[in-house]
């Protein structure tokens, strides 16, 4: 097997790798490093997350570094703060014995003034940045890219998925034409091909067909329910698993926000994590999740990339991912450090073919289990609660408190006291009358993966119950109105009047063209006259109290 020393890297780098315990390169490293050491051509590296791409481009960059240089030599763009921090940390380890290398990381959500001060003081040779913050630094003339020799786009497909296309195009305009452009991505959508065609000249390409392996300590399971019963099924699972500590994955930021807020309303300790949240919000959410104050995290795939928690009991696929790599990546959040964990998918008739596809492609068994019946759930919860109460240590209970409690409950029988305790513990489970059995029989599936009978689609009035109006009590949406998602909510102390002023000024419209406003905890939904659609999506920079405002059209697809 090939070693790093055989790839042509300097002794100072291989010594650092030895300290890190790295001896043999991964496939992407073995194929990329020799090519990049050979005159640093424009380069494309296609490989899945977790295959070692950071070392594939990081080691050649450290190898080429000139210790006598006093200028910015290389720029690495990454989609998220967490990935940027991870890259910078690995670069520090790689360059342990390389004299003079200075690496700095910049990202949004923290003081830009402090980062500008650090840039002036440190004068880094290698800068790791998220696109949005780098664009801000360029506009403030705090970063000059006219002399960089290498630009790396890491996780390029994710950057485009997150809406950074315009930022990347703008950033590239500030770089010299003679630089080398190294692009690393898991997939090759048309947007990536556009970047290649526009900015690269005869790039050298390495493509790795990574063998997808799943952790043997993970139990893979799925429940099978109608789409209209997904929320109820999730609640029942969470109530049945009283020790649940894990991540629930949704497909979009909007879904993540809505599901987390729904769970909060239903009495669960849940928080969302997605890209439209400020960095301060993300840090606060992760702090509560790590100390288990919030045991339920509802996240998108991209936002979850920075999560590094070893003791998760479950991962829930509330929305199935698009491919096997994401299924494996999600599931791998549990069963770490030799522990066991469960990957649970909530599957609807529309998803059935995909879960069976994952099973075949990953060569694993994804076991079908039943959603607990309402009656089973109560019985299971009662047994666990009774066991917990029976085993509570009362040694620290003072005689004063005990005697006072006896006085307060002296007129109550044991049965009455127990009934009240049960009501207090189980009241949430009885708030809504639900059908006892939420399961759909897998036998109802035809060979083509579709149900024999089509699930009833909610009518218009039912769909619009999810949209509350500005004093309207959730009236039907007008046919001449579009609905927009805005990442401001109650936690931002935003009020309807202020929001109306912002939107009217932003889109150049009269206030009468703004309809219902539904302000939730972390976002709001606003109706706007359809003829102002272009103005609402004009991408002009808009901020509220220093925070960037995101406006997106909500299509109301159910």
**DSSP label at 405?**
H
User: Domains of the chain, with CATH numbers?
Assistant: 4-207 (3.40.50.300), 218-373 (3.40.50.300), 375-430 (no CATH), 460-554 (3.30.70.330)
Query: Residue 471's CB: how many other CB atoms inside 10 A?
Result: 9
Chain CA centroid to CA 37, Å: 34
- Report pLDDT for 444: 55
Taking alpha carbons only, the member of 140, 117, 111 closest to residue 278 is: 111
Number of H helices, E strands in the chain: 20, 20
* Confidence (pTM): 0.52
* Block residue for tokens 């068994």: 365
- Report pLDDT for 524: 85
> Largest alpha-carbon pair distance within the chain?
88
- Report pLDDT for 266: 84
Burial of 102 by CB count in 10 Å (0-12 exposed, 13-18 middle, 19+ buried)? middle
- Pick out the chain residues at pLDDT < 70: 1, 40, 49-50, 209-215, 305-306, 380-381, 427-434, 443-479, 539, 554-558
C-alpha span between 276 and 300 (Å, rounded)? 11
Question: Which residues, in sequence order, are bridge partners of residue 528?
Answer: 482, 514
- Report pLDDT for 555: 54
SS3 of 79, please? coil
Residue 240 dihedral angles phi and psi, to the nearest 5°: -70, -40
- Report pLDDT for 209: 67
Q: What is the DSSP string of 278-322?
A: -HHHHHHHHHHHHTTSS-EEEE-TTGGGG---S---EEEESS--S
- Report pLDDT for 357: 86
Query: Residue 221's CB: how many other CB atoms inside 10 A?
Result: 15
- Report pLDDT for 29: 93
pLDDT tens, residue by residue, 68-116: 788 899 999 998 887 898 899 999 999 999 888 999 999 987 889 999 9
Chain CA centroid to CA 441, Å: 32
Structure tokens at 238: 């969470």
- Report pLDDT for 540: 73
* Block residue for tokens 């009518």: 459
Taking alpha carbons only, the member of 534, 538, 527 closest to residue 481 is: 527
pLDDT tens, residue by residue, 245-267: 999 999 888 899 999 999 998 88
- Report pLDDT for 251: 87
Q: 330, 317 in Cβ contact below 8 A? A: yes
Structure tokens at 203: 């790039």
- Report pLDDT for 397: 81
Please report, for residues 123, 158, 252, 485, 544, the alpha-carbon distance to residue 109 in angstroms, rounded to integers and kept in the order given: 22, 19, 21, 21, 14
Taking alpha carbons only, the member of 534, 552, 530, 551 closest to residue 479 is: 530
Alpha helices in 306-410 (DSSP H): 324-331, 352-362, 374-390, 399-408
Chain CA centroid to CA 260, Å: 13
Taking alpha carbons only, the member of 236, 247, 224 closest to residue 331 is: 247
């Amino acid at each position: 097997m090939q070693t790093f020393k055989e790839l042509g890297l300097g002794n100072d780098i291989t010594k650092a790798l030895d300290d890190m315990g790295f001896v043999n390169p991964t496939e992407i490293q073995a194929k990329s490093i020799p090519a990049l050491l050979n005159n640093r051509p424009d380069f494309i590296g296609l490989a899945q997350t977790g295959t070692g791409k950071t070392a594939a481009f990081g080691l050649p960059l450290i190898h080429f570094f000139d210790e006598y240089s006093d200028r910015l030599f290389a720029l690495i763009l990454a989609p998220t703060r967490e990935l940027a921090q991870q890259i910078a940390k690995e670069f520090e380890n790689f360059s342990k014995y390389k004299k003079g290398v200075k690496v700095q990381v910049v990202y949004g959500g923290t003081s830009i003034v402090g980062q500008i001060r650090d840039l002036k003081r440190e004068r880094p040779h290698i800068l790791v940045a998220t696109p949005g913050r780098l664009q801000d630094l360029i506009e403030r003339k705090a970063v000059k890219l006219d002399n960089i020799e290498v630009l790396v786009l890491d996780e390029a497909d994710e950057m485009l998925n997150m809406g950074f296309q315009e930022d990347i195009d703008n950033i590239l305009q500030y770089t010299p034409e003679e630089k080398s452009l190294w692009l690393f991505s898991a997939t090759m959508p048309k947007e990536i091909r556009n970047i290649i065609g526009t900015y690269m000249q005869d790039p050298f390409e390495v493509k790795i067909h990574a063998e997808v392996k799943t952790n043997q300590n993970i139990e893979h399971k799925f429940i099978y329910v109608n789409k209209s019963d997904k929320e109820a099924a999730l609640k029942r699972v969470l109530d049945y698993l009283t020790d649940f500590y894990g991540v629930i994955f949704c497909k979009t930021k909007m879904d993540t926000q809505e599901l987390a807020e729904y769970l909060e309303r239903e009495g669960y300790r849940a928080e969302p994590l997605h890209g439209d949240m400020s960095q301060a919000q993300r840090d606060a959410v992760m702090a509560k999740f790590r100390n288990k104050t919030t045991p339920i995290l509802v996240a998108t795939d991209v936002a979850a990339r920075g999560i590094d928690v070893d003791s998760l009991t479950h991962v829930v696929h509330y929305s199935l991912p698009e491919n096997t790599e994401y299924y494996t990546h999600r599931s791998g959040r549990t069963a770490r450090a030799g522990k066991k964990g469960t990957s649970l998918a909530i599957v609807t008739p529309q998803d059935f073919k995909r879960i069976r596809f994952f099973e075949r492609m990953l060569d694993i068994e994804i076991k079908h289990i039943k959603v607990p019946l309402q009656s089973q759930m109560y019985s299971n919860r009662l047994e666990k609660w009774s066991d917990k109460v029976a085993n509570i240590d009362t040694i620290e209970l003072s005689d004063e408190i005990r005697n006072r409690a006896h006085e307060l409950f002296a007129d109550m029988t044991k049965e009455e006291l127990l009934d009240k305790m049960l009501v207090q513990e189980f009241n949430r489970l009885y708030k809504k009358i639900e059908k006892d059995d939420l399961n759909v029989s897998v036998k109802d599936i035809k060979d083509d993966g579709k149900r024999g009978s089509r699930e009833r689609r909610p009518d218009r009035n039912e769909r619009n119950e999810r949209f509350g109006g500005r004093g309207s009590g959730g009236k039907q949406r007008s046919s001449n109105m579009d609905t927009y998602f805005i990442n401001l909510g109650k936690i931002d102390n935003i009020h309807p009047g202020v929001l109306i002023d912002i939107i009217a000024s932003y889109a150049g419209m009269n206030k009468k063209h703004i309809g219902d406003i539904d302000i939730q905890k972390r976002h709001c939904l606003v109706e706007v006259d359809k003829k102002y659609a272009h103005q609402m999506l004009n991408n002009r920079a808009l901020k509220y109290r220093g925070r960037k405002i995101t406006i997106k059209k909500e299509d109301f697809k159910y």
